[in-house]
Chain A
Amino acid sequence: DTGVSQDPRHKITKRGQNVTFRCDPISEHNRLYWYRQTLGQGPEFLTYFQNEAQLEKSRLLSDRFSAERPKGSFSTLEIQRTEQGDSAMYLCASSTARSTGRETQYFGPGTRLLVL
């Protein structure tokens, strides 16, 4: 039983460079979420997909950020022209839609980004 996987686990980049992260959700999960977590804080929601459709986006997701889930399976999060303030842990979670109630989100190990 594989959980949510993320790649890479760590990324160091220079300010102004573009970076892309990948998330592979649990195979039968149709919902996928991206969160950002800075030191000493809880995860903050960025965006959410149901299958390939991006249904929600946070105000935190500036125009330098873009997320895709082209085939409704894995997802990518790209940050263009990185800034030092982008340094954080980027977490991916997945869940399966329920007919009633709110499903549990299962999280991956995260990608830790450091922008120099």
Chain B
Amino acid sequence: AQKVTQAQTEISVVEKEDVTLDCVYETRDTTYYLFWYKQPPSGELVFLIRRNSFDEQNEISGRYSWNFQKSTSSFNFTITASQVVDSAVYFCALSEANTGNQFYFGTGTSLTVIP
């Protein structure tokens, strides 16, 4: 079973629009960690945020914000006032405390910001 689901395969927005990328996860562990990574065309995965299961506070970093809701097993990512440089594939990932050190990645959402 897929542990991380990113239902949106591709999204296109016009520059300056806000966009939300969805991430739904599945785990039986009570302690787990969630991550978002950005993969630009160059291919290197760039770390954006880490959140543990005990910290449900939402976070804002500049134009980026994250909404963690345990009740719906979701960890959504919003980009405000999108820019062309935001165009990339975004991956959500899960790491479980009791099942080793690997990360389980979703299939990614390809975001295109149109100028």
Q: Find chain B residues with CB under 8 A from A43 CB.
A: 45, 91, 103, 105
The proximity string for A residues 86-116 relative to B, scoring 1 for CB distances below 8 Å and 0 otherwise, is 0001010100000001101111111010000
Task: Name the CB-closest residue of A to B32.
Answer: A102
Q: Are A102 and B107 in contact (CB under 8 A)?
A: no
Chain B residue with the shortest CB-CB distance to A47: B102
Number of interface residues of A (CB under 8 A): 26
Q: How far is the CA of A99 from the CA of B53 in the complex (A)?
A: 17
CB distance from B104 to the nearest CB of A (A): 8
Evaluate contact between A107 and B33: CB separation under 8 angstroms: no
> Is B30 on the interface with A (CB-CB < 8 A)?
no
Residues of A within 8 A of B (CB): 31, 33, 35, 40-45, 48, 55-56, 58, 89, 91, 93, 101-102, 104-110, 112
Q: B residues near A, CB below 8 A? A: 4, 32-33, 35, 37, 42-47, 50, 52, 91, 93, 95, 97, 100-108
